[in-house]
């Protein structure tokens, strides 16, 4: 499965919008989860699990829980997908 950065970013924003009950249009591409979106730890965990499931990453919850922003999350997804593409 190959997706570009824009597609990955949009998908992550859709997941956040679903979990946090926000409009995708209200979420900036560079938004931080705590400061900009004011998400709580439970929402962050749910987003992490949903991102992991959506992209079939197989990442530990511990690693997912360290993500602080959309760019960090996109970076993790692209890194793992590119590793899987090579494997």
Domain that holds residue 61: 5-86
Compute CA distances 47 → 31, 33, 44, 50, whole Å.
Answer: 14, 10, 5, 5
Global pTM? 0.92
Q: What digits encode the pLDDT tens for the residues 34-71? A: 999 999 999 999 999 999 999 999 999 889 888 999 99
pLDDT category of residue 86 using cuts at 50, 70 and 90: confident
CATH code, domain carrying 39: 1.10.1200.10
Q: How many domains does the chain have?
A: 1
């Amino acid at each position: 499965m190959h997706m570009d950065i824009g597609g990955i970013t949009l998908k992550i924003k859709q997941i956040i919008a679903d979990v946090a009950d926000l409009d995708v249009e209200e979420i900036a591409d560079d938004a931080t989860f705590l400061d900009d979106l004011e998400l709580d730890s439970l929402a962050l965990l749910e987003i992490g699990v949903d991102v992991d499931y959506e992209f079939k990453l197989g990442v530990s919850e511990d690693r997912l829980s360290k993500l602080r922003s959309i760019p960090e999350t996109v970076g993790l997804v692209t890194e793992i997908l590119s590793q899987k593409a090579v494997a």
